[in-house]
Amino acid sequence: MPRRFLYVSNSVSHPPNVGGHQRTNLILRALAAMGEVDLLLLLPEHDIPEGGLEAMRRAFPFVHLINPARRGEMGPWRLIRPFSPRLVDRLAHNLGSRAAGFRPEPRIAGWIGERLRSHRYDLALGRYLQITSRSGVGAYTPTVLDIDDLETEVYRSRLHSPGLGRFERFMLARHLRQLERLVPAALDGFDHLWIASDADRALVGRRPVSVVPNIPYFEPGSPLRPLPPDDASNVVTIIATWNHGPNIDGLVRFLDRSWPLVLARHPAAVLHICGARITDGHRADWAARPGVRVIGKVPRVEDAYLPAALSIAPIHHGGGTKIKVLESLALGRACVLTRHSQRGYEHLLRHGESLWVGDTDEDLAEGCVALLKDPARRRAMAQRGGEIVARHFSFSAIESEVRSTVERLTADGAGLRPRRRPEA
Asked if the model's pLDDT at residue 163 lies above 80, the reply is no
The residue among 20 and 261 whose pLDDT is bigger is: 261
Name the residue ranges covered by the structural domains of the chain: 3-68+105-215+395-414, 235-392
CATH fold match for the domains 3-68+105-215+395-414 and 235-392: yes
Asked if the model's pLDDT at residue 338 lies above 90, the reply is yes
Right CATH number for 235-392 from 3.20.20.70, 3.30.2130.10, 3.40.640.10, 3.40.50.2000?
3.40.50.2000
Pairwise CA distance, residues 408 & 187, whole Å: 19
- pLDDT above 90 covers what percent of the chain? 88
* 3-class secondary structure, 405: helix
Asked if the model's pLDDT at residue 413 lies above 90, the reply is yes
Q: Which pLDDT band, with edges at 50, 70 and 90, does 395 fall under?
A: very high
Nearest to 187 by CA among 106, 265, 130: 130
Pairwise CA distance, residues 105 & 138, whole Å: 12
pLDDT at 408: 97
Q: Write out pLDDT tens, residues 360-384.
A: 999 999 999 999 999 999 999 999 9
Q: Using omega within 30 degrees of 0 as the cis cutoff, is the peptide bond preceding 307 cis?
A: no
Determine contact, residues 303/280, Cβ cutoff 8 Å: no
Q: What is the mean pLDDT of residues 212-225?
A: 90
pLDDT at 358: 97
Asked if the model's pLDDT at residue 342 lies above 60, the reply is yes
- Positive or negative, the CA dihedral 275, 278, 283, 285 is negative
**Residue 317: which residues within 8 A CB-CB, separation 6 or more?**
157, 158, 160, 161, 246, 249, 340
Asked if the model's pLDDT at residue 335 lies above 70, the reply is yes
The helices-and-strands tally (H runs, E runs) of the chain is 16, 15
Asked if the model's pLDDT at residue 417 lies above 60, the reply is yes
HSE value, Cβ hemisphere, 13 Å, CA-based, for 30: 22
What is the value of pTM for the model shown? Answer: 0.91
Pairwise CA distance, residues 167 & 354, whole Å: 40
Asked if the model's pLDDT at residue 199 lies above 90, the reply is no
Q: Which pLDDT band, with edges at 50, 70 and 90, does 424 fall under?
A: very low
Q: Write out pLDDT tens, residues 35-85.
A: 999 999 999 999 999 999 999 999 999 999 999 999 999 999 999 999 999
Pairwise CA distance, residues 291 & 288, whole Å: 9
| Listed range (245-249, 303-307, 374-378) with the worst mean pLDDT | 245-249
φ, ψ dihedrals at 385, nearest 5°: -65, -40
Nearest to 145 by CA among 26, 9, 39, 239: 9
Q: Which pLDDT band, with edges at 50, 70 and 90, does 318 fall under?
A: confident
pLDDT at 420: 82
Asked if the model's pLDDT at residue 159 lies above 90, the reply is no
- Positive or negative, the CA dihedral 336, 389, 225, 16 is negative
Architecture label for domain 3-68+105-215+395-414: 3-Layer(aba) Sandwich (3.40)
Pairwise CA distance, residues 308 & 302, whole Å: 10
pLDDT at 1: 75
Q: Write out pLDDT tens, residues 58-70.
A: 999 999 999 999 9
pLDDT at 242: 96
Q: Write out pLDDT tens, residues 120-143.
A: 999 999 999 999 999 999 999 999
Q: Which pLDDT band, with edges at 50, 70 and 90, does 423 fall under?
A: low
Residue 78: DSSP 8-state: G
Pairwise CA distance, residues 49 & 142, whole Å: 31
pLDDT at 422: 58
Q: Which pLDDT band, with edges at 50, 70 and 90, does 328 fall under?
A: very high
Q: Using omega within 30 degrees of 0 as the cis cutoff, is the peptide bond preceding 15 cis?
A: yes
DSSP 187-236: HTT-SEEEESSGGGGGGSTTS-EEE-------BTTB---PPPP-TT--EE
Average pLDDT, the chain: 95
Torsion of CA 295, 299, 302, 304, to 10 degrees: 0
pLDDT at 18: 85
Asked if the model's pLDDT at residue 356 lies above 80, the reply is yes
Determine contact, residues 142/4, Cβ cutoff 8 Å: no
